[in-house]
Structure 1
Amino acid sequence: MIVTDHQPHRVSVAVYGEFTLADYKEFEELVNFKVKFEGPVDLLFDLREMADFTLDVAWEELKFSRTHANDFNRIAVVTDSQWLTWAAWLSQIFVNAEMQIFSDADEAAGWLGAAA
């Protein structure tokens, strides 16, 4: 399950439990809308409560990252997982955005706000 929020030029997503393809599609639709009407956006992913993700989500993330390589300014990922940290850095290969990993959501939001 995901919870999304958006402000001007920012999309925030918190994942709880399993991150499914339906969740990812919801995220994609929101980002596509924001990018279409506002241009590049910042992303805030809070993955601290994510238990797992499905293989089709990983594949969709790869396709999405390649399609939207220039649609993000900054990406903040909040996680305590070394595996998710590694995966986030790997995905940066496909996206032309500044990315930082945080263990604290307030620090992540502050870093994104500093760019505004």
Structure 2
Amino acid sequence: MITTDHRPNLVSVAVFGEFTLPDYKEFEELVNYKIKFEGPVSLLFDLREMVGFTLDVAWEEIRFSRQHSHDFRRIAVLTTDQWLTWSAWLSQIFVDAEVIVFDDDADARTWLEAAEEPAQ
């Protein structure tokens, strides 16, 4: 199960339990909408309560990332799991965005918000 939230240029997703393909499709639909009407977005994935994901989710994530390789600004992943940390770093192969793993929600949000501030 997932919960999603969004505001201009940001999509937040929290995963609870197993991450399934219908959950991922819900995420994709929201991101596609945001990209279409706002351009590149930042993502916040809270995976601290995720217990696993299905193989079809992993495949879909690769496909979606390759399709949208230039559509993300920053991607913050909240987790303390080393396997998920490794897979987050691996996902950088498919996207131009900066990907950083955090264990603190406030730190992740601060980092994402910094991408929205105009350069001086």
**TM score, norm. by length of structure 1:** 0.99
Amino acid at match of 1:22: P
Structure 2: gaps spanning 5 or more residues: none
1:15-49, Cα deviation, whole Å (9 max, x unpaired): 00000000000000000000000000000000000
Amino acid at match of 1:15: V
Measure, in 2, the Cα distance between the counterparts of 1:64 and 1:42: 15
| Alignment RMSD (CA, Å) | 0.4
Structure 1: gaps spanning 5 or more residues: none
Mapping of 1:74-113 within 5 angstroms? 74-113=74-113
Amino acid at match of 1:66: R
Identity of paired residues, percent? 72
Alpha-carbon distance, 1:99 to partner: 1.1
Alpha-carbon distance, 1:75 to partner: 0.3
1:70 counterpart = 2:70: yes
Q: Count the aligned residue pairs.
A: 116
Mapping of 1:4-15 within 5 angstroms? 4-15=4-15
The runs of at least 4 consecutive aligned structure 1 residues that moved more than 6 Å come to none
Alpha-carbon distance, 1:114 to partner: 1.3
Q: Which position in structure 2 is the counterpart of 1:43?
A: 43
Q: Secondary structure at the match of 1:80?
A: coil
Amino acid at match of 2:108: A
Measure, in 1, the Cα distance between the counterparts of 2:108 and 2:91: 18
